[in-house]
Chains A and B, each alone.
Chain A
Amino acid sequence: DAMVIQNPRYQVTQFGKPVTLSCSQTLNHNVMYWYQQKSSQAPKLLFHYYDKDFNNEADTPDNFQSRRPNTSFCFLDIRSPGLGDAAMYLCATSKDGQGIYEQYFGPGTRLTVT
Chain B
Amino acid sequence: QKEVEQDPGPLSVPEGAIVSLNCTYSNSAFQYFMWYRQYSRKGPELLMYTYSSGNKEDGRFTAQVDKSSKYISLFIRDSQPSDSATYLCAMSVQGSSNTGKLIFGQGTTLQVKP
Residues of A within 8 A of B (CB): 4, 31, 40-45, 48, 50, 55, 57, 90, 92, 94, 96-108
Q: Is the interface of A mostly helix, strand, loop or mixed?
A: loop
Residues of B within 8 A of A (CB): 4, 6, 8, 32, 34, 36, 41-46, 49, 88, 90, 92, 94, 97-107
Q: Contact between A40 and B107 (Cβ–Cβ < 8 Å)?
A: yes
Q: Which of A4, A50, A97 contacts B43 (CB 8 A)?
A: A4
Q: Contact between B99 and A50 (Cβ–Cβ < 8 Å)?
A: yes
Q: Which of A40, A57, A99 contacts B98 (CB 8 A)?
A: A99
Q: Contact between B43 and A102 (Cβ–Cβ < 8 Å)?
A: no
Give the residues in chain B near A103, CB-CB below 8 Å. 46, 102
Give the residues in chain A near B90, CB-CB below 8 Å. 101
Q: Which of A31, A43, A100 contacts B32 (CB 8 A)?
A: A100
Please name 15 further chain A to chain B contacts, defined as beta carbons within 8 Å, in addition to the given A40-B107, A96-B99, A107-B42, sorted by A numbering: A41-B106, A42-B4, A42-B104, A43-B104, A44-B104, A94-B99, A97-B98, A98-B98, A99-B94, A101-B46, A101-B92, A101-B102, A102-B46, A104-B46, A105-B44
Give the residues in chain B near A4, CB-CB below 8 Å. 43
